[in-house]
Amino acid sequence: MSNTEVMTKMGLTRRDFMRATSAIGAAFGLEATGVMSLVGDAQAKETAAGGVPVLWLQGQACSGCSVSLLNTIFYTTIDDLAVNTLDINFHPNLTAAVGTMAVAQVERTYRQGGYVLVLEGAIPTGSGGKFCNLWPGMTFDKAVERYAARAAFIMGVGTCACYGGIAAAAPNPTGARGLADSYGGKRVVKIPGCPIHPDWVVGTVAYILANGTAPALDAYGRPTTFFGRRLHGDHCPLKDRGEAHRPGQGGCTKEMGCRGPKTFCDCNVRLWNGGASGAKGVSWCSGAGAVCVGCTEPTFPDGMSPFYTKIE
Amino acid sequence: MSTTISISPMTRVEGHLDIEVTVDTDGAVQQVIDAKAAGQMFRGFERILVGRDPRDAVQLTQRICGVCPVSHGMASSLALDAAYAVTPAENGRIVRNLTLGANFIQSHILHFYHLAAPDYINTDGILDMSPWRPHLSSPDMVTGSAAAALVGNYVAALSMRRKAHQMGSIFAGHMPIAMNFVPGGATKPVTAADITAFRALLAELRSFISNVMLADGEALLSLFNDYTQIGTGCGNLLAYGVFDLTSAGTSKLLARGRYTNGALGTVDTTQIREYVSHAWYTANSGNRTPAAGVTEPAADKDGAYSWIKAPRYAGAVHEVGPLARMWVNGDYRYGISAMDRIVARALEAEKVANAMDGWLSQLVPGGPVYTHKATPSSGTGVGLTEAPRGALGHWAQIGSSRLTQYQIVSPTGWNASPMDDSGQHGAIEQALIGTPVRDLKNPIELLRVVHSFDPCLSCSVHLVRPGKKAEICRVDVAAGV
């Protein structure tokens, strides 16, 4: 089977991906700034010789954000991204090469510059950074500094990378922290979530490819398209569904501890784990009778726990 | 002269893993004569959990590993069920199994096609771009139309594993992290519509597993039959068992048990001890049961090379995983090897998926999913279950309604452990020793053996980078194009 045949089997071309991304926003009544208008520009940026180079590095991560990214379908699928749109020159869970062969590929991308650097997981600063070592002589904190220098765009994926997240929870045994707000004057685009919703990452990448610039960000570096509105509000599908006081009752879980009033994300309109392009997902945390744990906020988890306790 | 092969980073595993082996010629065969497996990341979860509301453990421990979070949710919930002295509602027990089953299917498909299969397929001319190129090469790799067919299934498997998560999300709220586990049961009321939607996705997955994945597994078994003699390892198997069929947990889809020195046996958790002679912990942290576990770092300790403690059952090394479960349960007794691990994993996916269809029929729409019990002021509980990659245990203690102690013994702790106090190598190390290496620059055999265990380093909780080791004649993996 030729390369073209494989792509055909995958059923999508790069052009399809860019068209799919145009579905963002309007359907869910989200802020649609910019991303709506990416189609024309993005197609102009298609190049014959492969896609946009990406280096994806993991620090104190659980790979949950990478696994969640594999679930992408609203804008496009992961095979389309990998084959047609991006050159994923390193990803710890996907890269075929190992050892020095893999590191050489990272360094080649670094020398060429102009890549999208994606960082997943927190940065441990204790013990000289040695709580997380990527390969010989390369701790994660060193890697962040090195590979940020020649990146065109820097993205933090997941609350650990953005703000420290779980790894930085008290007593923060390893001195973990999230990414800085910027490196060398380049502002970091932060996509928090524990894990991230794949649409947040793919939609943001699409915007960057289309516009050559980062989307509008809030004070915490988050794209306002996805994180511009509080979860709790009149738009919540559980608003008039009665109050649940215990698991298994269904309805609004505010009395049980839902962190919606303190959390900015679009989970309750976008929903998770959808099954088709452009379609809403299947469910979300409070929709499953559980509580939103506030995982997209810089204060997660300590500022949000105990989770099953009503917000005062 | 012996040669050291160092693989850092090992990719297509969860987390940060280093492999270092010494290769020499023995009996005219160039093979591994010594091996070390060590991880490179530490977060300190057990310390983070102490002092928190016990219920938070169900959510926080799922963030140990994004590939097998639901297993941590299950282990934590079972430990807290015991500590709270609560029996989960029947619907809750079943929904937990269905959610965990969905992730088993997701993880097994991901491992088979996306983590392991690239070691057996030459993708040149098919996928000529990153992340599939460059790659190690070996003359025995599948090429041509057979390779193209496998790549086609690799792509199909991407959407299949996504659908497995979609299916789990129906009850879980979202995947990979499941929101619906709580002590006492689950959170979402069961509806007929949810059962129907779940069953439709399950039917699609069952068809893929039985018709595509098992066929590909058989093809690999046939083409790489030499790997039924490679990566044999310690030969001892341990399973805590999983998918409780009664709320008491006395009957399980996959039974608890072990296979030690060629004989089947029962599991008594008091026989589990963790050793630290080759791990960077104080002597006080060693030779303890998990319930009494202590984790005191000793970063400069002589003779240590890993931050994984070495769990042993009655002093003996055991491997864990789908092969251990299927063997103990009597479903698979062909052999213990790299290829047997892969085949047993595919067969287990089919067994679990088929069972799930029956569980859906046992759900009672509108029936209770949750039994309430307030957080006790004190209590203890053990949660024994299985992650897709092997036996997982959580040990919890509650005092003043807060967690006072929390210990986790993970599957990759068993499999990727360092040497113990008796000088016994861990399971992956033993499986590597004796592995033939044809080409020192393309040691694909090592990847196949390591990947057969489906290592998950983030689960190994205690890990940190190993110390610098002596070099004999270090060669690195071919630097590629």
Give B164-217 pLDDT, tens digit per residue: 999 999 999 999 999 999 999 999 999 999 999 999 999 999 999 999 999 999
The reply to whether residue A272 touches residue B158, judged by beta carbons under 8 angstroms, is no
Cβ within 8 Å of residue B216, ≥6 positions away: B112, B113, B117, B150, B153, B346
Sign of the torsion formed by the C-alpha atoms of B301, B306, B307 and B312 = negative
Q: Which residue has the tokens 């998990």?
A: B290
Q: Which of A194, A197, A235, A245 is catalytic?
A: A194
Among A308, A281, A273, CA closest to A294: A308
Contact B310, B275 (CB under 8 A): yes
What are the respective helix, strand and coil percentages of chain B, to the nearest 5?
Answer: 40, 20, 40
Same domain? A87 vs A218: yes
Is A197 one of the annotated active-site residues of the chain? no
Check whether residue A297 and residue A278 sit in a common domain. yes
Query: To the nearest whole angstrom, how far is the Cα of A104 from the nearest Cα of chain B?
Result: 7
For residues B132-140, give the mean pLDDT: 94
Task: Verify that A139 and A269 share a domain, yes or no.
Answer: no
B427 close to B319: Cβ distance less than 8 angstroms: yes
What distance in Å separates residue A67's CA from the closest CA in chain B? 7
A10 and A152, same domain (yes or no): yes
What is the per-residue pLDDT for B174? 98
Domain boundary among A182, A207, A227: A227
State the smallest CA–CA distance between residue B264 and chain A in angstroms: 34
Give residue B459's pLDDT: 57
Same domain, A64 and A169: yes
| Domain membership flag for residue B182 | yes
User: Which range has the worst mean pLDDT, B33-42, B90-99, B320-329?
Assistant: B33-42
Closest B-chain CA to A4: B126
Residues 6+ apart with CB under 8 A from A97: A105, B11, B134, B135, B136, B477, B480
| pLDDT at residue B460, as a whole number | 54
Instruction: Let me know if residue B89 belongs to a domain.
Output: yes
List the domain range (segments joined by +) for residue A288: 229-312
Choice among A91, A162, A197, A252 that is catalytic: A252
Kindly list the residues from chain A whose CB atom is less than 8 angstroms away from the CB atom of residue B368: 248
Could you tell me how far CA B447 lies from the centroid of its own chain? 16
Residue B301 within a domain: yes
Structural domain ending residue among the three candidates A164, A192, A227: A227
**Residue at B9 is within a domain:** yes
- The CATH number given to whatever domain includes residue A202 is 3.40.50.700
Asked about A236 being catalytic, the answer comes back as yes
CA distance B309 to B209: 35
Same-domain pairing of A125 and A245:
no
Residues A233, A213 share a domain: no
The residue annotated as part of the active site, out of A65, A132, A162, A265, is: A65
A265 annotated active-site: no
Query: Which of A66, A71, A290 minimises the CB distance to B162?
Result: A71
Would the pLDDT of B355 be above 80?
yes
Alpha carbon of A192: minimum distance to chain B alpha carbons (Å): 14
Would you state the structure tokens that stand for residue A68, as one six-digit string? 């969640």
User: Which among B108, B155, B471 is the top mutation candidate for probing chain A, defined by the most A β-carbons within 10 Å of its own β-carbon?
Assistant: B155
Facing residue for A247 by CB, picked from B155, B161, B182: B182
Q: DSSP for B59-84, please give it.
A: HHGGGG-SSSHHHHHHHHHHHHHHHH
Mean pLDDT of each 10-residue bin along chain A, 312 residues long: 39 45 41 33 40 93 96 94 91 93 96 96 87 89 97 97 97 94 96 98 91 93 96 95 95 97 97 95 97 98 97 87
* Predicted confidence band of residue B46 (pLDDT cuts 50, 70, 90): confident
**Per-residue pLDDT at A204:** 94
Identify whether residues A121 and A242 lie together within a single domain: no
Give a yes or no: residue B481 inside a domain. no
Contact in structure between A105 and B130 (CB atoms under 8 Å): yes
CB atoms inside a 10 Å sphere around CB B358: 11
Same structural domain for residues A214 and A294? no
Q: Would you call A98 and B10 a contact, using CB atoms and an 8 Å cutoff?
A: yes
| Predicted pLDDT at B163 | 98
**A99/B173 Cβ within 8 A:** no
Name the closest residue on chain A to residue B370, using Cα atoms: A248
* Cis peptide, bond prior to residue A173, ω within 30 of zero: no
Task: Write out pLDDT tens, residues B277-289.
Answer: 998 888 999 999 9
Asked if residue B186 is part of any domain, the answer here is yes
pLDDT bucket at B40, cuts 50 / 70 / 90: low
Report the pLDDT value the prediction gives residue B39, as an integer from 0 to 100: 61
A132 given a catalytic annotation: no
Q: What is the tens place of the pLDDT at every residue in B240-296?
A: 999 999 988 889 999 999 999 999 999 999 999 999 999 888 899 999 999 898 877
Do A180 and A292 belong together in one domain? no
What is the band of B342 on the pLDDT scale with cuts at 50, 70, 90? very high
Residues B400-457: tens digit of each pLDDT: 999 999 999 999 899 999 999 999 999 999 999 999 999 999 999 999 999 999 998 7
Q: Which of B134, B171, B464 sits opposite A131 (nearest CB)?
A: B464
Q: Number of folded domains in chain A?
A: 2
User: In this structure, what DSSP letter does residue B114 have?
Assistant: I
pLDDT of residue A29: 38
Which residue of chain A is at minimal alpha-carbon distance from B194?
A282
The CATH number of the domain holding residue A297 is 4.10.480.10
Note whether B125 contacts A2, CB cutoff 8 Å: yes
B175 and B165 Cβ atoms separated by less than 8 Å: yes
Range of the domain at B96: 3-476
Residues in B touching A266 (Cβ below 8 Å): none
Both A207 and A260 in one domain: the answer is no
ipTM for the whole complex: 0.94
User: B470 to chain A nearest CA, in Å?
Assistant: 14
Tell me, yes or no, whether A25 and A35 share the same domain: yes
* Nearest CB partner across the interface for B53, out of A174, A195, A306: A306
- pLDDT band, very low/low/confident/very high, at B458 (cuts 50, 70, 90): low
The pLDDT value given to residue B281: 84
- Are B176 and A194 inside 8 Å of each other by CB? no
DSSP H or E segment with residue A203: helix A198-211
Domain total for chain B?
Answer: 1
Please report, for the domain that includes residue B351, its CATH number.
1.10.645.10
